[in-house]
Amino acid sequence: MPKFIFDACSLIYLTKINLKEKLTKLGEVIVSQTVKNELIEEIDQFEDAKILSRNIENKIIKESSYKLKDFFTTKNLGQGEKDTIEICLKDEGVLVTDDHKALNLALSIGLKPKTSEVILLDLLKKSVIDFEKFTKSFEELALIKALKPEVVKFIFTKAKKIIKNNRNNSTEEIK
Amino acid sequence: MTKQMNLRLDEDLIKEFEELAEQENLDRSALVRKILIEGLQQERLNFALQKYMIKEISIERAAEIARIPLHDLILKMSQLGIPSNLTIEDFEKIL
């Protein structure tokens, strides 16, 4: 089963659009200790933090056992992001981050990161959600993240291609 | 522990402080302290958001600089309509 190492912002976004519960259909959901603390920080003030805390208690979200060595010293990333990338690099796992700086650092060291938009597309590809659910969830995500119109268009184009491929594959199976 | 800090302010500004302190039933120093604390928090947030928007720092680093929980920063960014720093080029690289 693939391991997904999540950054805090991605898990918060996916919680806001009520899709976090579906993530275990793709693989294990793992976070660093710093990210875990970020997710449940000032828990009484944030409803999402309460939901995430329950998920951690129920082991839907697991804490990584990897011993961090503070591999990255950049001051442009948060500690959670640095820890998440280090875990992916040393302990293997797919990085999920919704930040430009973190994503590009990961790419520069050979990782293949995903964002919450890509996770949505993966859920669609694996038929965990249908196109209607994808559209509703992605529209909510786009609103929360104030995604630029060209990004919204790009992701929808990818989603339509996935639907077309899924239909072609199921037609071939019937034949 | 507190330390003394002397500030030279315009007379008009001091008068404004005194008027507002009276209206809010606070002493002048307490009002200045309150405004300084709130102003400092806002300035930290503005600075962090500016750095985030020009892609100099990440979202979590912005929360660290602003000294607020990430949940709070995401909420504030959404309310202010500050777009995610991910670009179309980022998505082209990963998809």
ipTM beyond cut 0.85: yes
Which of B57, B64, B86, B89 to substitute to test the interface with A, most A CBs within 10 Å?
A: B86
In 3D space, the residue among B85, B45, B42, B80 whose CA is nearest the CA of residue B65 turns out to be B45
User: Is residue B4 one of the residues assigned to a domain?
Assistant: no
Mean pLDDT of A151-159: 97
Residues A12 and A63 in one domain: yes
- Kindly state whether residues A38 and A99 are assigned to the same domain: yes
Q: Which candidate from A42, A76, A151 shows the least CB-CB separation from B86?
A: A151
**Closest chain B C-alpha to A78 CA, distance in angstroms:** 4
User: Which residues of A are less than 8 Å from B74 in CB distance?
Assistant: 9, 12-13, 144
Closest CA to B90 of A125, A12, A106, A35: A106
The burial class, CB within 10 Å (0-12 / 13-18 / 19+), for B37 is exposed
Q: How far is Cα B70 from Cα B66, in angstroms, rounded to an integer? A: 10
Asked if A111 and A142 sit in the same domain, the reply is: no
Residues 6+ apart with CB under 8 A from A116: A10, A13, A14, A96, A98, A141
Q: Look at residue A171 in the predicted model and tell me its pLDDT.
A: 73
* Statement to judge: residues A21 and A58 lie in one domain: yes
Nearest chain A Cα distance for residue B67, angstroms: 12
Give how far A167 is from chain B: nearest CA, Å: 20
Confidence of residue B19 (pLDDT cuts 50, 70, 90): very high
| Beta-carbon separation of B57 and A77 below 8 A | yes
DSSP secondary structure, A118-174, as one string: HHHHHHHHTTSS-HHHHHHHHHHHHHHTT--HHHHHHHHHHHHHHHHHHHHHHHHHH
Query: In angstroms, what separates the C-alpha of A173 from chain B's closest C-alpha?
Result: 26
The token pair at B45 is 């947030």
Partner-chain contact B94 A99, CB within 8 Å: no
Residue A34 has pLDDT above 90, yes or no: yes
Whether residues A79 and B64 touch (CB distance < 8 A) is answered with yes
A173 pLDDT tier (thresholds 50, 70, 90) = low
**What range does the domain containing B21 cover?**
11-94
Mutate to test the interface with B, among A7, A101, A109 (most CBs of B within 10 A): A101
- B6 occurs within a structural domain: no
Rounded to an integer, what distance in angstroms lies between the CA atom of residue B75 and that of residue B81?
10
| Whole-number pLDDT of residue A92 | 87
Whether A37 and A104 share a structural domain: yes
Q: Is A113 exposed, middle or buried (0-12, 13-18, 19+ CB in 10 A)?
A: buried
Domain end residue (candidates: A83, A115, A147): A115
Q: Are residues A24 and A92 in the same domain?
A: yes
- Which residues of chain B are within 8 Å of residue A112 when distances are taken between CB atoms? 94
Q: Is B5 domain-assigned?
A: no
Same domain, A108 and A37: yes
Q: How confident is residue A169, by pLDDT bands cut at 50, 70 and 90?
A: confident
Residue where a domain terminates, one of A115, A139, A160: A115
Instruction: Tell me how far apart the alpha carbons of residues B65 and A79 are, in angstroms, rounded to a whole number.
Output: 12
Q: What gap in Å lies between CA B87 and CA B82, rounded to an integer? A: 13
Q: Select from A92, A115, A138 the last residue of a domain.
A: A115
pLDDT surpassing 80 at residue A88: yes
What was the pLDDT predicted at A91?
Answer: 86
| CATH number of the domain enclosing A89 | 3.40.50.1010
End-to-end Cα spacing for chain B: 54
Counting the structural domains of chain A, the total is: 2
List beta partners, residue A62: A30
Give pLDDT tens digits for A89-133: 998 899 999 999 999 999 999 999 999 999 999 999 999 999 999
**Structural domain for A60, as ranges:** 3-115
Inter-chain residue contact A46 with B71, CB threshold 8 Å? yes
Mean pLDDT of B55-79: 97
Whether residue A126 sits in one domain with residue A70: no
Same domain for A110 and A130? Answer: no
* Count of domains observed in chain B: 1
Q: What does R_g of chain A's alpha carbons equal in angstroms?
A: 17
Is there a single domain that holds both residue A111 and residue A134? no
Contact A96, A7 (CB under 8 A): yes
Predicted pLDDT at A174:
62
Summary mean pLDDT of chain A: 95
Let me know whether A104 and A28 are in one domain: yes
On the question of pLDDT at A172 being above 90, the answer is no
